[in-house]
Every structure is written in structure tokens, then in C-alpha cells.
Amino acid sequence: MKAQLIIFAALLSLLSSCKKEKTEPICTPAPQEDYFPNKAGSYWTYQWYSIDSNGVETAFGSLDSIYISGDTSINNQSYTIYKGRKLGNNNYTSLLRDSSGYIVSPQGFIHYSYTNFTDTLQQGVSAPWNWYLKMFQESLDLFGATKEALKARTYYYDPSGNPINNCGDTYFTFNSWYVSGIGKVKETNAFANQLQNCGLLEARLVSYHIGE
């Protein structure tokens, strides 16, 4: 199953469905410290669902859990170390740091921002698609309550204008949602065959703990 996973997940940790979106950007900066928990001992547990083109959901048999094991220094910059299990990878590791409101990897890849809701944060090519990343703000239901969330949306499209799946869509998006005081609460992605058949994967937060 891992072999089929779209490479974008390893690069971005972002996702969404093939449905068209009309969310408008918000230009008001978010509180700095709340969206990037970086204390050792923090953890997040997620349930993944496979969702077909008719909206039928199938839960994965096991949960994923990501935790902060500590930090490390690279080129005189401190990075938070995230470890755990993600989509069958029991040795998942990610290094991230806060660079003036932009959460970045050691390679300089931007995962999300809590300050810039106007600009295209990053763009590139993952053949056969072009892509770009922008930030939005949305309300979502979390544990029975409505929360305001930051949404990192990566928009993929075929520059030739050809359909990207069997439904005739000309683009798809992969997204991640972050809530103040918690961190990442939801993520979408897709396996290659799901993407072609207009399905997706969605991870939803089940439990979490933020270290002191």
C-alpha cells in the first residue's frame, strides 16, 4: 500500500478531495505560538479513512500516532523532531522549525504559515502536475465543537488543461488543518488509484496531548 502512496504526502503532509473550493483567504495574522506546538512529550493520534467517489467511508484498521521526541540543531537552527507511525510507515520522522511565522523543513520547504494568508507560499512541479501552496482559514467541527482552523492547501493541476481523473476534474487539492493550542487536526491525501477514481484519504484527530 505504501508503494502506491502519492509522493506529495512525504513532501508536504497536505491533502483534499477533487471537489471545487470557494474558501477566501484571510489576511489577519494568527497568534504566533499556538499553531506550532514544539514541546517534547506532545503527541497526536489520528484515524485514517478511505473515502470513495460516492462519499462512502472505510476506516483503517489501525491508528497513527505522531509524537515530539525532542529537537536537533541543523546549520545553527533548532528543529523540532516528530516521530511515530503514519500510513503504514512505522519509522515516520519529520523535522520542522518556525521561521518567522513559516513552518519549514531543513530543506526550506514550507509546510504552512500562521501569518501569510495572501501570497502563494511556494510552487513547483511534481510531474505530470504543477502545484502551489496557499493558506486559508475555515471553521470545522472538532470533538463536537466548532473551531477556527488554519488550512494549508496545495493545489495541483495539469498545465495542459487536461482532466486529472476519471471524473473530468482539472485539478485536485491536498490539505492540512491546524487549530490553535492543538496543532494538526485533519489531513487529506490519496493513493494513486484513488486519485484517478475521485476518492481520497482523510486523517482525523482522535486524541492528543500537548507537553508542558
Instruction: Look at residue 34 in the predicted model and tell me its pLDDT.
Output: 79
Mean pLDDT of the chain: 86
CA separation for the pair 136, 82 (Å, rounded): 24
Got the DSSP string for 31-70? PTTTS----TT-EEEEEEEEE-TT--EEE-SS-EEEEEEE
pLDDT band per the 50, 70, 90 thresholds, residue 212: confident
Query: CB atoms < 10 A from the CB of 96, how many?
Result: 20
The pTM assigned to this predicted structure is: 0.84
| More confident position, 141 or 88 | 141
Instruction: Say if residue 97's pLDDT is above 50.
Output: yes
Report whether 92 contacts 86 (CB < 8 A).
yes
Residue 118: its pLDDT value, please?
Answer: 96
- Cis check: omega of the bond before 128, within 30 degrees of 0: yes
Q: Does 183 score more than 80 pLDDT? A: yes
Q: Place 21 in a pLDDT band, splitting at 50, 70 and 90.
A: very low
State pLDDT tens for residues 32-76: 557 999 999 999 999 999 999 999 999 998 899 999 999 999 999
Predicted confidence at residue 33, as pLDDT, reads 52
What integer pLDDT is reported at residue 52 of this predicted model?
94
Is residue 3 very low, low, confident or very high in pLDDT (cuts 50, 70, 90)? very low
Name, of 4-8, 15-19, 26-30, the range with top average pLDDT: 26-30
pLDDT tens-digit series, residues 116-136: 999 999 999 988 899 999 999
Output the CA angle 45-91-71, nearest 5 degrees.
80
CA distance 133 to 138: 16
Does residue 23 surpass a pLDDT of 80? no
| Structural domains present in the chain | 2-209 (2.40.360)
Question: pLDDT value at position 20?
Answer: 36
pLDDT score for 26:
42
Of residues 121 and 21, more confidence is placed in 121
